[in-house]
Structure 1
Amino acid sequence: MSFPATGSIINIQSYKHNGYLHRTWGDTAILKGSSQIIVAGNDRIIVTESDGRQWRTREPAICYFSSKLWFNVIGMLREDGIYYYCNLGSPFMWDNEALKYIDYDLDVKVFPDGTYILLDEDEYKLHHRMMKYPPELDAILKKNLNELLSMITQKKGPFEPGFVEEWYERFLELR
Structure 2
Amino acid sequence: MTIEYPRDGQTIQIHSYKHNGSIHRIWKETVVLKGTPNYIIAANDRTTVTEADGRTWTTREPAICFFHSKHWFNIIGMIREDGIYYYCNLSSPFVWDKEALKYIDYDLDVKVFPNMTYVILDEDEYERHRFEMNYPSVVDQILKNNVQKLISWIHQRKGPFAPDFIDTWYDKFLFYRK
- Taking the aligned partners of 1:70 and 1:162, their CA distance within structure 2 comes to 23
SS of the residue aligned with 1:84? strand
Task: Please give the residue correspondences for 1:91-170 in structure 2 after superposition, counting only pairs within 5 Å.
Answer: 91-170=93-172
Q: In the alignment, which residue of structure 2 is the partner of 1:65?
A: 67
Q: In the alignment, which residue of structure 2 is the partner of 1:14?
A: 16
CA deviation profile, 1:66-113 (whole Å, cap 9, x unmatched) = 000000000000000000000000000000000000000000000000
Structure 1 spans left out of the alignment, 5+ residues: none
Cα distance, 1:154 vs structure 2: 1.0
Cα distance, 1:121 vs structure 2: 0.4
Residue identity opposite 1:153 in structure 2:
H
- Taking the aligned partners of 1:122 and 1:68, their CA distance within structure 2 comes to 26
2:45 matches 1:43:
yes
SS of the residue aligned with 2:106? strand
Residue identity opposite 2:127 in structure 1:
K
Residue identity opposite 1:134 in structure 2:
P
Task: Please give the residue correspondences for 1:19-38 in structure 2 after superposition, counting only pairs within 5 Å.
Answer: 19-38=21-40
Give me the TM-score of the superposition, normalised by structure 1. 0.99
Residue identity opposite 1:108 in structure 2:
V
- Cα RMSD of the aligned pairs, angstroms, is 0.4
Residue identity opposite 1:155 in structure 2:
R
Across the two proteins, how many residue pairs are aligned to each other?
A: 175
Cα distance, 1:120 vs structure 2: 0.3
Give me the TM-score of the superposition, normalised by structure 2. 0.98
Q: Deviating runs (4+, > 3 A) in structure 1?
A: none
